[in-house]
Chains A and B, each alone.
Chain A
């Protein structure tokens, strides 16, 4: 009996020596292996939409309406320590929200690369879906690189998910980043669906028109006027898909005909858009409000001031806020009726007007501007005599952009930089803006983690 027990015990011990299998575990139920994810249509789609969920939830990219608004001349700061650096144009490399934006944008680049790499290897599902997903990945990567280059100038171009390769990357010239953005968009144009029917008319997923809209914007930023005009025209010509909303209050509704791509709320109720949530005032502002000087600058009778600027009054004081989005959230929890518009038709008119002005098609430019001015209820330019000077017309175009696109995805500051007026205009208002403030500092954490990102941008 004793020997039996000892023997049993020794067998048990020797089992331990070969108990390799005891410590090899299956993936937990909460994690799905990458191989499986990309060999399946629905899970691959889930990876793609994961990016939009992150955009909605992480909020650094969608938050540029606020940060750019403060950094430029749209918003007035009341109190919020973290935002003071934006308002004073005194960002430091340790600013957490600068790091947030940087890493959020690069996380989309990673995700896009993983989708491209994963799906190119995968087989066995519907080709058109696969093309759309790869197209979306290229679009997402282009969008991210577009913002990276506009905030930081020279940045590394990341095209793989292998960190060992990526750790050796150096920053590349701005033109190289742009050409990669263009390349990605051209590929996306090839691959993406060309209308919204695949999503039952829902405008929440980018299709070929989103790619074209970004291309038009990219060419505009690059000063490639004819390409900018070409792409804007292609979009404007699709009246079956896109129309300007007659009522300014309808522009930002879910699936508005003016929207080319909008970011949908990830909820069924409650927060519709982060812009509505953060801008709309229901008390004396403790963070930021629309700058009174900005509001005063609107033309007399501009319906955009009437409909898109909200007013909160308390003890004789008036505070303004952007009111493009009407729903703040709160009680009762509203159903989702608004969505954050990232590309819309009005911008394409402005892109085309600017391109035409630069190409000396003054009539065409004025016509495009007047379409927007008419909707806004202000005097038409065509009635105010001949406009045949590019510079004069550009001034009007930038002014139109200011009031049409205010606090929308950071347009204002990018426009000021593009026009070369950022220092002139902003230093008048705040006195602190310098040329080097046209670029953000590379976050210190990143410089520490990757010394190859040196040198830091000037002025930091």
Chain B
């Protein structure tokens, strides 16, 4: 993990970072990556990866019947910036 890789990660994860954070994160992430390397020593050939501990779980479906939706007013009560019934955001494309 170096500064350049961290920069790339911060773009992928959409989190801007300050210089101080960058230094601490490079060290912190490197430390954990070194720690988890121990897993490489185990031979897992032929082992099926575990996706869920509920081994018999299959897709859970329901009848295609509409349930009462969340009201628009209630939804908008948490929206940081709105206009009428719309969520307001800054321009998506730069003019």
Chains A and B bind each other: no
